[in-house]
Amino acid sequence: MALTEQITKENLPKHIAITMDGNGRWAEQKGKFRVFGHQNGVKAVRETVESAAEIGIKFLTLYAFSTENWDRSKKEVNALMTLLISTINKETKTLMDNNIRLDAIGDLDQLPEKCKKELNQAIEKTKSNKRMTLILALSYSGRWEIINAVNKMILEEAKQVTEEGFQQYLNTKGVPDPELLIRTSGEKRISNFLLWQIAYTELYFTDTLWPDFRKEDLVAAILDYQKRDRRFGKTIA
C-alpha cells in the first residue's frame, strides 16, 4: 500500500507546524553559498504546501524567519527577504488555484516595505480561500509574541486573564494549537517557535535537511503522529 494511503483520515492533525532547518548545511555540503540552500528550500516549501492541502491539513505554519535571524550577515538577510518577496509574488496564483489562504505571524513591522506590501497583497487576495490556511512565521519568536500579548493587555488595562482570554492576544488568535511540530536537519530544539501553542504538541524530528524534504517525509511524520498515544496529562481511559 502506498504510504499516503496508510494515513487515517479520521485522525489527521488539523494544524502542522514546521521548523524548516538545514538550508545552509545542505548548500555547504554541495560546496555552494548558503543562499543556494534557501533557494532550494523554496522548492520544499512549494511541495510541502501542496501535499499538506492534498492530505487535508487545515493549517500549516512554516517558520520562515525568526527574530534571531536578523543577526545573520546582511547579505544573507537581504537574500532571504528578496526570496520571500519573489516567492510570494510568484506563488499567489498557485495559492488561488489551490484554494489556500495565506496569513502571517510575527513582528511584521520589521520587514522591509516591499516585503510587507507583497505579503499584505497576497493575504488580502487569498483571504476567502477555504481549503487550508498557510501561516508564515516571519520575524517571529514565541517570546516576542507572548511579551507583545502582555503589552497589548496592559494597554487595554486587562485586570485578570484566563488561558482562553490570553490566546485572544496572541498572533495565532482563532488558530487551533498544532497537534504536530516537525523540525528538519537533526536538531532537537524548539528555538523559540510557538512557545505557548505547543504545550501538548507531538514533536517529530528528522535528519532530512529542509531542501530535501518532500511529500513522503511529510507523510512519514503524519504516520508517526498517528501511532502516538495522546493523553494530555490524563491516564488511559
Give me the residues that bind ligand FPP (CB under 6 A), please.
Answer: 20-25, 38, 41-42, 45, 62, 64, 69, 83-84, 87, 136, 185, 210
Measured CA distances, 107 to 145, 169, 192, 207 (Å): 8, 14, 14, 30
Which residue has its beta carbon closest to ligand FPP? 24
- Residue closer to ligand FPP (CB basis): 55 or 84: 84
Nearest to ligand FPP of 84, 198 (CB atom): 84
User: Is the four-CA dihedral 86, 214, 123, 192 of positive or negative sign?
Assistant: negative
Q: How far is the CB of 24 from ligand FPP (least distance, A)?
A: 3
Q: Please state the closest distance from residue 96 (CB atom) to ligand FPP, in A.
A: 16
Report how far residue 225's alpha carbon sits from residue 13's, in angstroms, rounded to the nearest whole number. Answer: 8
SS (H, E, C) 137-180: EEEECHHHHHHHHHHHHHHCCCCCCCHHHHHCCCCCCCCCCCCE
Looking at the Cβ atoms of 23 and 171, the one nearer to ligand FPP is 23
Query: Which residues, 6 or more positions from 31, have their beta carbon under 8 angstroms from its beta carbon?
Result: none
Burial of 125 (0-12, 13-18, 19+ CB in 10 A): middle
Among the listed residues 21, 23, 40, 103, the single catalytic one is 21
Say whether 21 is catalytic. yes
| Known catalytic residue at 69 | yes
Catalytic member of 40, 69, 97, 99: 69
Our CB check for ligand FPP shows the closer of 62 and 175 to be 62
Q: Which residues are catalytic?
A: 21, 69
